[in-house]
């Protein structure tokens, strides 16, 4: 069994990666229903938390149905990280996760996210501060390195473990790669082979099918897999991967009815959580993925992304279900 501290995640957990503007409570609810074992919030700025910024504080919202859940924070200043850890603990997640992997320039230029991979000593010091500032299990998500010339992930794994983290998730790219090229899991596998490393190691990057999940599980020996972009508009990937692990068989793709039901639920919860205007607006990025592969879907999608009336949007979803009923996708 894989455990983070005292949290039992089962034999081989599937985790939902923290994704800005994606892994919010409405989306996490769908992923949990489809078999995700542990989920993470969108990443939260520690500076926003300690200044009580509305957007940052709202991201602390977690619900009993989605547990176990980890709240992920990012920052670069010691005092801010310490104070934010105390705020996160009050929200009562199962885990506090530190983002040392975000490649976005506005984050890295402040030496936060993947930016800190340029200063491993500081990375270790910040982690040590947070571990000592909370009673929650602390985990880290990071990348292989800043660029090809600064890959020190094996050292990072050992040193972060030594200051007390309980699990490490590794995206198999450098910061310089962003999301381009193919994720390299070779070093993730080497860390699992390191006799000094005893904490769970979760692999992340490019897992977009049950077959690939099984191949990487067997080839690299990771303790679990974190799925990110492949879950957007496709929460069914968790049930598909688990079914394939158990039976070696591929499930049929979700039906028209299931896709529309998921989109409806997502939209409903999005409006409830964010308010009508923002809930409808931020839902628009998901429709392409929910209805990917639908022939002649563009006119429907254009209506979905240009309409601000919730009744109209739900009506368009109903129309999609009716018009595509019985159509082979």
Q: Any idea which residues carry the catalytic annotation? A: 102
Long-range contacts from 2-7, C-beta under 8 angstroms, 24+ separation? 2/200, 2/223, 2/224, 3/200, 4/38, 4/68, 4/94, 4/95, 4/137, 4/139, 4/166, 4/167, 4/200, 5/95, 5/137, 5/166, 6/137, 7/38, 7/68, 7/94, 7/95, 7/137
End-to-end CA distance of the chain: 38
Kindly tell me the burial class for residue 142, based on how many C-beta atoms sit within 10 Å of its own C-beta (0-12, 13-18, 19 or more). buried
Annotate 290-315 with b (16+ C-beta within 10 A) or e (fewer).
bbeebeebeebbebbeeeeeeeebee
Distance CA 319, CA 325 (A): 10
Q: Are 85 and 130 in contact (CB under 8 A)?
A: yes
Nearest to 91 by CA among 113, 58, 65: 58
Distance CA 288, CA 304 (A): 10
Prior bond of 68 cis (ω within 30°)? yes
Q: Enumerate residues 6+ apart whose C-beta is below 8 A from 304.
A: 284, 287, 313, 316, 317
Q: Enumerate residues 6+ apart whose C-beta is below 8 A from 149.
A: none
């Amino acid at each position: 069994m894989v455990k983070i501290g005292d949290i039992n995640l089962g034999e081989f957990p599937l985790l939902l990666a923290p994704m800005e503007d994606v892994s919010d409570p409405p989306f996490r609810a769908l992923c949990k229903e489809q078999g995700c074992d542990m989920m993470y919030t969108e990443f939260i700025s520690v500076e926003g938390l300690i200044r009580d910024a509305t957007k940052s504080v709202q991201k602390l919202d977690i619900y009993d149905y989605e547990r176990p859940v980890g709240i992920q924070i990012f920052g670069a200043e010691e005092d801010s990280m310490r104070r934010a850890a105390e705020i996160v603990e009050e929200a009562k997640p199962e885990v506090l996760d530190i983002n040392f992997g975000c490649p976005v320039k506005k984050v890295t230029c402040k030496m936060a996210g993947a930016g800190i991979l340029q200063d491993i000593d500081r990375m270790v010091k910040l982690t040590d501060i947070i571990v000592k500032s909370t009673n929650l299990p602390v985990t880290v998500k990071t990348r292989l390195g800043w660029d090809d010339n600064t890959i020190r992930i094996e050292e990072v794994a050992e040193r972060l473990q030594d200051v007390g983290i309980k699990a490490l998730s590794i995206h198999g790219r450098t910061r310089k790669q962003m999301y381009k090229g193919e994720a390299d899991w070779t070093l993730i596998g080497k860390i699992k082979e390191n006799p000094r490393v005893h904490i769970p190691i979760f692999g992340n990057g490019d897992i977009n099918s049950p077959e690939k999940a099984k191949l990487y599980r067997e080839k690299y020996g990771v303790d679990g897999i974190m799925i990110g972009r492949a879950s957007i508009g496709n929460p069914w990937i968790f049930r598909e991967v688990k079914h394939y692990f158990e039976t070696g068989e591929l499930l049929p793709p979700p039906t028209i009815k299931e896709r529309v039901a998921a989109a409806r639920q997502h939209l409903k919860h999005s409006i409830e959580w964010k308010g009508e205007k923002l809930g409808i607006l931020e839902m628009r990025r998901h429709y392409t993925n929910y209805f990917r592969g639908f022939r002649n879907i563009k006119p429907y999608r254009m209506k979905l992304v240009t309409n601000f009336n919730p009744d109209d949007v739900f009506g368009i979803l109903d129309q999609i279900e009716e018009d595509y009923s019985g159509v082979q996708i």
